Amino acid sequence: METVVKVKKSFRKPMRKLASCVLQQKKKSLCPGHRARSRGSRRRKDPVRATPPCPYQADLDKERKLREVKNAQKNAERAALRAHFRSKYKLSEDPQDSYHLRSLGGKVALPHKLSKIIYPQSQTKDEGFNLLSAFQGLSFGPDVIRASSADVCRVM
């Protein structure tokens, strides 16, 4: 009995090697993309596949880009306003403002409300008596002259 056990033990290792070789050959032929697992080693993870973004993520990206464009426009308008006041009051320039202006291509058109603050509607220099405005309501048409000539003067 002992000899049988010894024989079994002695053939155990070569049989395992043979079985593993045969099984690997079968696996390779049947599943060429399948990797054989080895004992005691770390298994590599599959590389992360780049999946296309979901439709709602595309919408979120689009909205985020629109917000960024609007914020950049607002920042450039504010920078233009500050630049005007800096030049008006002879203050030093800020590089951040020039960066905001350059990000939108240089010149920025101010909104109507901001341009009213900078350039108020100036009236004429002489705000006192205006001769033309005094005669604005009068009309010197031919109807007025006929009406006055139609009335006969009683003294005459």
pLDDT per position as a tens digit, 82-112: 887 887 787 787 788 777 777 777 777 776 7
d(CA 150, CA 142): 12
pLDDT per position as a tens digit, 23-79: 665 555 555 555 555 555 566 666 666 666 678 899 999 999 999 999 988 888 888
pLDDT per position as a tens digit, 18-38: 676 666 655 555 555 555 555
pLDDT per position as a tens digit, 126-139: 566 666 676 776 76
Confidence of residue 155 (pLDDT cuts 50, 70, 90): confident
Is-above-0.85 flag for pTM? Answer: no
d(CA 80, CA 107): 8
CA atoms within 13 A on the CB side of 143: 2
* Domain boundaries of the chain, sorted by first residue: 1-30, 57-118
- Predicted local distance difference test score (pLDDT) of residue 73: 87
Q: How many CB atoms lie within 10 A of CB 81?
A: 18
- Predicted local distance difference test score (pLDDT) of residue 92: 80
Contact call for residues 103 and 71 (beta carbons, < 8 A) = no
